[in-house]
A and B are shown apart, each in its own frame.
Chain A
Amino acid sequence: MMQALDKTTLNAPTEATVSGMSMKLLLRDAGIGIALLLLIVFFSLSTEHFLTSNNISNILTQITINLILAIGMTFVILIGGIDLSVGSMLAFCAVVAGTVLTIPELSVFQAVGLATLAAIGTGVVCGFLNGWISAFWGLPSFIVTLGMLNIARGAALQVTDARTIYSFPPSFNAFGSQMVVGVPVVFLIALVLVAVAWFVLSKTVFGRLLYGIGNNEEAVRLAGHSLMFYKVAAFTIAGALVGIAAMIYMARLNIASPIIGIGFELNAIAAVIIGGTSLNGGRGTVVGTLLGACIIGVLANGLILFGLSDFMRQMITGVVIILAVIIDKYRERITAS
């Protein structure tokens, strides 16, 4: 079935074009990497504490949750979709998992295991529904996930009766701040997820077809592939990642509240877009998303160290998002020629 892909009707890369494509993608990512590097150099020179091991591990901890959400968002945006529900889903996953985690009868090992399953399971169900409803009725994911944004938030409030869950097992809590040679373990988890996502997106037929759907949905369908399967898969992956992010949130902050994560979807989308993924789908890499999340994290941290006011900080973050899209326009022209 996969051999049925026809290069002329389908814009997705086949074996012959993959290496050329990777080269171009590499160049795109290099541009974002240079922007990140410039920021790092600027803050290192202009502030006293930016380039210290403590501060670097702080930044890595601070970007972890956004990065994990942004990996999932990359899958969704690559197929030309959008997921506005991840912030609410984070809260829903967290309170479901938090409820499991605080069952007194369970040992720490059982509680953490079951809670992780519960968090990922909740995310998978929500993500599946997002994908299936959009694909089955041919609805824009913007609207479907806007609905899910409300459903998941309402469900989180309903499950907890709007109360905060706290007092998790101390060893679980300690895990959230564990370091390996100055690198937060939670960030390493995110890095592993980036690597897996990179492999899936660039080295498997499944991943290449996601790009194909973003480029030319009709062609993929005509080539005999089930659009439904790939669309549902992209949203479900995003949901599973929200579940993982929820566990990390809880380990880091030792609470699960139904009101956490408001607006997190916007930060995740910003990381993906700054990372060079096209909102129209079909173009972008998860490495770009990693760099995009780093840029947001470095800006948030560096501007505080720089002593800029909160309001100026917010304005600059906005400017960076718009700049990223403008730069992307030019990059598109260059890579197209």
Chain B
Amino acid sequence: MKFFTAASIIALSVAAALPPAAVAADKPVVGLVMKSLANDFFKNMLEGAEAHEKKRGDYELKAIGMQNETDFESQLNGVENFITQGVDAIVIAPADSRAMVTPLKKAMDAGITVVNFDVSLDEQAKKDAGIDLAFVGPDNRGGAKMVGEALAKSLGAGGKVVILEGNPGADNAAQRKLGFEDAIAEGKLDLLDSRTAHWETEEANSVFSTMLTAHPDIQGVMAANDSMAIGVIKALDVAGRSDIKVVGFDNVPAVAPLVKDGKLLATVDQFGSQMAADAIDKALEVVAGGPKLEGWVKTNIELVTKDNVK
């Protein structure tokens, strides 16, 4: 009991001390809200942002993340804490493209510059809330189409493919699926099945093994992220099917050897480490009195194959 009292006193005093500290700093404070600090992609992104803070040296970075990609609530709390602390800008990769609109409106009403990156907020939800917010980020649909086209080119028209989707309901998962479908339509591929493996290696391994049993004539696989592509490639190794081609998304370090020895035909690099830094730059321009951001500020994406893998 004594411990808890002591702990809560400390917690309260810390909470009380924070807002004045943030306001008193002469450098602008940027609150970075990440989706998850628990995977390579966001980890690189955070490190990129931290390096950027050191390099620029003219702002203070406060970063928060969540335990997993679907933990909306801690993200919501994070945004509210930043509002209370009175940060100058919030740069956010929303966990949910609709749920985060309301707290961000609150932040904008409080005079905070908000920049949305990585995953775009839902257009309709923004309209309903009466806010106009630009998006800094990659074209997930375009990237998926690009890597899907690489597969289509390698298979030729009539190639039989399956898709492994990300989390149902997640906007980037939906966008990537649409991009794959664009490539399938244009390349005249034949889509046999499309299922979610929730971004997970082990689940992708199991789900894909079963899809392969149902459709032994599969020629190509489009995985919405590299973690799932790794699970697919393991399943192909076990089944002894080196004839089936796989493409992924994200270019995580673990796939570099797979791209080199041809087991992964292609993946897409979204330059995650630069993405948060780019968004922070944009936010600071606005904080310094620059014009309001509008529409979609697209960030760089690149197709990674055997020829350019590092």
Contacts and interface: CB of A to CB of B under 8 A. Distances in A.
Interface of A: 47, 49, 52, 54-55, 58, 61-62, 65, 153, 157, 161-164, 166-167, 177, 249, 252-255, 257-260, 262, 300-301, 304-305, 307, 310-311
Range of interface residues on B (Cβ < 8 Å): 20 to 34
Given A157-B38, A164-B253, A260-B202, A49 B196 contact: no
B307 interface: no
Nearest to A303: B210
Q: Tell me which of B206, B227, B230, B237 has the highest count of chain A C-beta atoms within 10 A of its own C-beta.
A: B206
Contacts of A163: 40, 43, 253
Contacts of B39: 162, 164, 257, 259
A304 B195 contact: yes
Contacts of B230: 253-255
Given A162-B40, A163-B40, A311-B168, A62 B206 contact: yes
Interface in B21-71: 37-40, 43, 67-68
B201 A255 contact: yes
Interface string B188-218: 0000000110001110011101110110100
B214 A49 contact: yes
B195 A310 contact: yes
28 contacts: A47-B214, A49-B216, A55-B213, A58-B209, A61-B238, A162-B39, A163-B40, A164-B253, A166-B254, A177-B237, A252-B234, A253-B201, A253-B202, A253-B205, A253-B234, A254-B230, A255-B230, A257-B227, A259-B68, A260-B201, A300-B210, A301-B210, A301-B213, A304-B207, A304-B214, A305-B210, A307-B214, A310-B168
Q: Name, among A61, A62, A253, the residue most crowded by chain B CB atoms within 10 Å (CB to CB).
A: A253
A276 to B, nearest CB: 25
Nearest to A62: B206
A157 B40 CA distance: 11
A27 B254 CA distance: 49
Interface string B225-255: 0010011001001110000000000001110
Contacts of A257: 39, 201, 227
Contacts of B213: 49, 52, 54-55, 58, 301, 305
Contacts of B211: 304
B262 interface: no
B111 interface: no
Contact of A252 (B40, B205, B210, B252): B205
| Interface SS of B by simple majority | helix
A252 B206 CA distance: 11
Given A253-B230, A310-B168, A300 B206 contact: yes
B195 A58 contact: no
A182 to B, nearest CB: 13
B20 interface: no
A262 B167 CA distance: 14
B257 interface: yes
B257 A167 contact: yes
B43 A161 contact: yes
Contact of B252 (A58, A61, A153, A164): A164
Contacts of B207: 304
A237 B43 CA distance: 34
A101 to B, nearest CB: 14
Nearest to A162: B43
A304 B193 CA distance: 10
Nearest to B199: A259
A47 B216 CA distance: 14
A58 to B, nearest CB: 5
Contact of A310 (B40, B196, B200, B238): B196
Interface in B82-125: none
Contacts of A164: 39-40, 252-254
A167 B257 CA distance: 8
A49 B217 CA distance: 13
B194 to A, nearest CB: 9
A109 to B, nearest CB: 23
Contacts of B238: 61, 177
Contacts of A252: 202, 205, 234
